[in-house]
């Protein structure tokens, strides 16, 4: 085990312990939480971020650097969104391009060891999630519960004369808070699950794109190396009918499996079973697999197929700088859509708007 790996593992364990303690407190009675942590309902002096993926976390980092108060709400029990790694396998984003400016700056700041995939791309030995773990450590501070609320799913939003009232499902009950500045950092596929969101006048442009959106536009697959011919570190693409398959093999001492990213070339969403049958013929494999939607984060390490690792909009979403409601994420980026760099760029832009 390298010194870098040991350091990353210690960081991850520290982060996990802190966040476990924080999320564990959420299961206690609401009155105890409110008493102990002064969990106020009026957040007009804070920026409310809904979604703890890479975009939401990077925005939190930007706001903290500007000494702006924020409160981040995450529906699941872990941070990172669709970035998920297990034993070095990346079930979401896997590679970064050397031309990615903000991602490269963040990796340098966090002192992450890059491994070159080829002349244009690189990855992290312990998986992309190490980027999230180290980023969270920079953000959480001494009292993680002050700025983070885990297992809080936004279920309803109502516009008020000034600001918004948000309703979160938290454990067995609901929590209502009021804010004047709101940032959505959740995938567009989840917008329709929030009652009242798409009816807001601030969401008119986003709603038009939402109605034309192609959801689940890519599928991530993990296959054992034994099923791939010529096991060397490589990045290759091949076409499969109306699909484009990007094959990622990370030659590594722990003999990581191959990652396959399948992108739709058309607006037709083929079933996972059809795609697997085509891959079986192409790669000449017969590998039993489990299907797992992208929002079922808990079992990613047990599933060989993860559906919906990416989402696609027909064009970038231009936020009104003066709007109290902003949207960030890789799906809405004009600079690098559907990539980590796009998520970071959108978060940085909104952070500048909020000043």
DSSP string, 332-355: G-SSSTTSHHHHHHHHHHHHHHH-
- Distance, CA of 183 to CA of 283 (rounded, Å): 43
**Per-residue confidence (pLDDT) for residue 224, from 0 to 100:** 66
Q: How many residues does the chain have?
A: 355
**% of the chain surpassing 70 pLDDT:** 68
Which range has the top average pLDDT, 82-91, 205-214, 293-302?
82-91
Does residue 73 carry a pLDDT above 90? yes
Which of 322, 329, 76 minimizes the C-alpha distance to 213? 329
pTM of the model: 0.83
> Using CA atoms, how far apart are residues 14 and 92, in angstroms rounded to an integer?
23
5 token code pair: 């790996």
pLDDT of residue 58: 97
Closest listed residue to residue 306, CA positions, set 241, 218, 227, 245? 218
Mean local confidence (pLDDT), 149-166 = 94
Query: What SS3 class is residue 287?
Result: coil
pLDDT of 304 higher than 90:
no
Region label for 230, one of left (φ > 0), alpha (ψ between -120 and 50) or beta (otherwise): left
**Structural domains of the chain ordered from first start:** 3-212+313-354 (3.50.50.60), 214-312 (3.30.310)
pLDDT of 227 > 60? The answer is no
Q: How far apart are CA 309 and CA 296, in angstroms?
A: 11
Residue 265 has pLDDT above 60, yes or no: yes
Judged by DSSP in three states, 174 sits in strand
Query: In the structure, what pLDDT confidence band is assigned to residue 306 with cuts at 50, 70 and 90?
Result: low
Residues 180-216: pLDDT tens digits? 999 999 988 788 899 999 999 999 878 877 776 655 5
Which position has the higher pLDDT, 36 or 220? 220
Q: Who contacts 163 (Cβ-Cβ below 8 Å, separation ≥6)?
A: 44, 178, 179, 180, 181, 182, 324
Give the single-character DSSP code of 219.
E
For residue 14, pLDDT over 60 is answered with no
pLDDT at 34: 42
Rounded Cα distance between 294 and 245, Å, is 18
CA distances from 212 to 121, 190, 197, 218, 314 (A): 31, 14, 17, 16, 7
pLDDT tier at 6, thresholds 50, 70, 90: very low
Q: Which residue has the higher pLDDT, 197 or 41?
A: 197
Inter-residue contact 103 to 125 (CB < 8 Å): no
């Amino acid at each position: 085990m390298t010194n870098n790996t040991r350091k990353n593992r210690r960081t991850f364990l520290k982060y996990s312990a802190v966040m476990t303690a924080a999320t564990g407190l959420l299961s206690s009675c609401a009155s105890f939480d409110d008493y102990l942590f002064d969990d106020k309902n009026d957040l007009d002096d804070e920026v409310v971020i809904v979604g703890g993926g890479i975009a939401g976390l990077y925005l939190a980092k930007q706001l903290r650097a500007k000494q702006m108060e924020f409160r981040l709400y995450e529906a699941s029990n872990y941070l990172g969104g669709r970035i998920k790694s297990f034993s070095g396998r990346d079930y979401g984003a896997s590679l970064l391009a050397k031309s990615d400016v903000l991602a490269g700056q963040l990796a340098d700041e966090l002192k992450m060891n890059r491994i070159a995939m080829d002349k244009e791309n690189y990855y992290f030995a312990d998986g992309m999630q190490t980027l999230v773990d180290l980023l969270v450590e920079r953000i959480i501070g001494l009292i993680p519960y002050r700025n983070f609320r885990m297992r809080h799913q936004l279920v309803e939003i109502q516009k008020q004369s000034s600001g918004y009232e948000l309703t979160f499902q938290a454990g067995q009950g609901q929590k209502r808070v009021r804010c004047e500045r709101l940032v959505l950092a959740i995938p567009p596929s989840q917008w329709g699950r929030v009652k009242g969101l798409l009816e807001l006048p601030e969401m008119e442009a986003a709603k038009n794109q939402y109605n034309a959106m192609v959801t689940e536009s890519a599928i991530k697959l993990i296959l054992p190396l034994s099923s791939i011919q010529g096991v060397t570190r490589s990045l290759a693409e091949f076409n499969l009918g109306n699909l484009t398959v990007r094959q990622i093999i990370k030659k590594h001492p722990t003999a990581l499996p191959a990652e396959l990213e399948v992108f739709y070339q058309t607006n037709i969403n083929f079933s996972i079973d059809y795609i697997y049958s085509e891959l079986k013929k192409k790669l000449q494999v017969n590998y039993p697999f489990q299907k797992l939607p992208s929002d079922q984060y808990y079992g990613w390490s047990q599933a060989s197929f993860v559906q919906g690792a990416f989402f696609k909009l027909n064009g970038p979403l231009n936020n009104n700088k003066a709007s109290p409601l902003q949207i960030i994420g890789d799906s809405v980026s004009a600079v690098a859509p559907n990539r980590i760099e796009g998520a970071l760029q959108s978060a940085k832009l909104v952070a500048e708007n909020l000043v």
